Amino acid sequence: MPRMTRYQFLAAEIFAYSFANYAGHLGIGHVRFEKSMPQTAKNLERAEQEGWSDERLAETMAVEVSDVPAWRKRYREAVEVVDAKSPAESFRRAVRQSLAFELGRHQIEDAELESAVQQICYRAADLSYLLDQKHKKFSDYSEELRREDEAELDGPPAD
C-alpha cells in the first residue's frame, strides 16, 4: 500500500474515509483521491492560516457559503487527528470525535463520553496485546475491523 502524505491523511478525515480505504485508492490513477481531495485539504488549511472569508473559501471550493462552516469544522477536526503527537493520541481523538458525532443526539455528559473513549482505548490496547501474542500486525485485520455488518458473537474466537 502506498505511503500517504499529510494532505491525503487530512483528506481521508475530512471526507470520512478510513486511512486504509483511502490508501487503497492511491497509485491507480484515481484523480479524486490523488489530487482533488488533497487539494481541498490544502485550500482549507490555507484559508485557516490566512484568515480567508467564508465567501472566498466558498468560491475557491465551489460550494455554497452556507456550507463553509461545516467544511472548516471538518478540517479542524481532521487536523486534531492527523497532527496528534502520537498514533495513540490520534486514535483517541478520532474515537472521541466519532462517538461525539454518533451520540450527539443523546444527552451525554463529557465525563460519560470520556469514559467511553477510555474503554475503547483499553480494548484497542487489548487487541494490540492479542496481536503481539500471535505475531500478527494490526493492519492484517484492517478489512475485518472496517466491515459494516454486525460482528459474529457465536462460537469460539478465531485464531
User: Domain locations in the chain?
Assistant: 1-79, 84-141
The whole-angstrom separation of Cα 40 and Cα 10 is 9
pLDDT of residue 141: 85
The whole-angstrom separation of Cα 8 and Cα 40 is 10
pLDDT of residue 1: 66
Q: How confident is the model at residue 13 (pLDDT cuts 50, 70, 90)?
A: very high
Q: Per-residue pLDDT tens for 69-125?
A: 999 999 999 999 999 999 999 999 999 999 998 888 888 888 999 999 999 998 988
Residue 143 has pLDDT above 90, yes or no: no
User: pTM (2 decimals)?
Assistant: 0.82
Residue 39 has pLDDT above 90, yes or no: yes
